[in-house]
A and B are shown apart, each in its own frame.
Chain A
Amino acid sequence: MQVDWVTVKTVATTSQSETGLKLITVIVTDPDGVATQIRALRSRNSSFEQSPAVDLTAVTWLGAELQLGGSTASHSATQLSNQVYDAN
């Protein structure tokens, strides 16, 4: 994984100093050596950076596993944009 500060006007330009906007690159290589890369931006003023008004436990990630009989299980997961209060 690589995190770079990028200029706000042109996200293609990396910066050595904080700009308020991060470019996050994640590269995953599978056992066959095939690499998959995804990129996304994260702002300093993102909702993920805001403190909640009250202390709470929140669910921020949801994953699922599906398996039929003895076959190989499939996995999928996603982040939750809206943090969900955890009642448990």
Chain B
Amino acid sequence: MNLHLTTIARSHKPRRGSVYIAVLGVAMIVSIVSLSAMQITRLQRKSALALDDMAEARLMAQSAVEYALAQITADPVWRKTFASGVEYPADWVSLGGSGEFKFDLTDSDGSLSDDVNDAVTLRGIGQSGEAVHVATVMLEPTGDPLACLEVSLCVNERVRPEPGGDMVTDQVISSNDDIDADDAPITGDVEAVDDIRGDITGRETSAIPLREMPHEHVFDYYQFNGTWIDVDALPVDGSNNPVISLVLLTPNVNPFGATNPAGIYVIDCQGKDLRIEDCRIVGTIVLLNPGNSTALASSVVLEPAVANLPSLMVQGDISISTNDVNLSELDTGVNFNPVGTPYRNIDDSDRSDTYASVVRGLVYVSGTLKLLPDPDSPHSRFRGVVVCERIHAASRVTFKYDSVFFSYPPPGFAQGPEWRVMPASWQRASN
């Protein structure tokens, strides 16, 4: 019996220690779990508060933009009231919550008041707690049309048709410099800021005021709102140059990618010589960084999808050697007026139609517009308005005027104190 008790007593000693250690361990585990849960809760709460601050800061940045829009709308001389790059107002504005905001207006040339044609970047800065959010939008001038839209051809530099050239207009050819028709005739009225001479059949008006030309931001709207076509996604010719040929490109049809409801397609040529020929385009083609031999050639039927939008905008130089040979579905094997893309209100599924080769709409070239003769039929035809910095006219070319662009100036072709937010220009910026 004693032995038994002794045995029990001996066996109980280590058990008491084990239980103690076990209890201690469990207590530590429970403590750690509890502390971890508390820490996790704290982090979650901190994260939730940070998310709230981020959302509030974002809302404040957007409110800053709205506030700034109201400020400049109420102030007809806002370009003088505000200075470029300076934050307004002096004190942060609060709407009663935890957030507050300011805004600034920036002109890329550093001065808001030097030119009413300059686009302006509006920055809304919102903050809440430790969160800061900056939203930017572009403001573009609207209002009166640029004077360059008032004539069929407006050239910022001298107009001097080359031998073999023949410029014809049903309205006015205008130059912000001289017009010299000694080497080739001009049929129609002409006007120039400086001198006029040579073989001109129409009325000559010299010493006109300078016609306002588009500014550097003229491409912004189209870049923001256009669908970009990768130049490397285009087919190439034997010289490995990209080509757009034997295709239909419209708001509903883009063989090179996504479609654009306004038909605005932007191509960064990356210095390559893009060639556009034997095709029908209903939309606005925007060419950036074109190579020296970028060209519109042969039979091209080009017109804007939206009546007052440009049909062609080139940031640089381009050669145009289109002819007056009709674009033929039979010859090209392409249906250029499928269902959904009518031509003169007619669409069909056959391949037997022909289309007059003509560039309709507003054409703007920021560099040199080279009009070169097509060997088959040296006659390019424009119906609308052509605006360019320089012109090299060595072919027979007809300019027929369309006043729709002067009556309803497209984005980038208006000036004045009025403005609007450039669609699709909202961006989040780093502060």
Q: Which residues of A contact B (CB under 8 A)?
A: 8, 11-12, 19-21, 23, 37-47, 50, 52-56, 81-83, 85, 87
Interface residue count for B (Cβ, 8 Å)?
Answer: 33
Give Cα A6–Cα B221 distance, bound, in whole angstroms. 31
Give Cα A57–Cα B426 distance, bound, in whole angstroms. 19
> Once the chains bind, are B135 and A43 in contact (CB under 8 Å)?
no
Q: How far is the CB of B250 from chain A (nearest CB, A)?
A: 13
Q: Which of B62, B66, B258 has the most CB of A within 10 A?
A: B66
Any chain A CB within 8 A of the CB of B17?
no
Across-interface contacts of A37 in B (CB, < 8 A) = 97
Q: How far is the CB of A38 from chain B (nearest CB, A)?
A: 6
> Once the chains bind, are B70 and A21 in contact (CB under 8 Å)?
yes
Question: In the complex, which residue of chain A has the Cβ closest to the Cβ of B135?
Answer: A81
> Once the chains bind, are A40 and B59 in contact (CB under 8 Å)?
yes
Q: Which residues of B contact A (CB under 8 A)?
A: 55-56, 59, 62-63, 66-67, 69-71, 73-74, 93, 95-97, 135, 137, 251, 258-262, 305-306, 309, 420-421, 423-426
> Once the chains bind, are A21 and B66 in contact (CB under 8 Å)?
yes
Question: In the complex, which residue of chain A has the Cβ closest to the Cβ of B418?
Answer: A45
- Since A8-B71, A12-B96 are in contact, a sample of 6 more A-B pairs with Cβ atoms closer than 8 Å, ordered by chain A residue number, is A8-B70, A11-B93, A21-B70, A23-B95, A43-B70, A44-B70
Give Cα A7–Cα B354 distance, bound, in whole angstroms. 61
> Once the chains bind, are A11 and B73 in contact (CB under 8 Å)?
no
Give Cα A53–Cα B93 distance, bound, in whole angstroms. 34
Q: How far is the CB of A17 from chain B (nearest CB, A)?
A: 14
Give Cα A54–Cα B251 distance, bound, in whole angstroms. 11
Question: In the complex, which residue of chain A has the Cβ closest to the Cβ of B75?
Answer: A8
> Once the chains bind, are B97 and A47 in contact (CB under 8 Å)?
no
Partner of A38, one of B56, B261, B421: B56
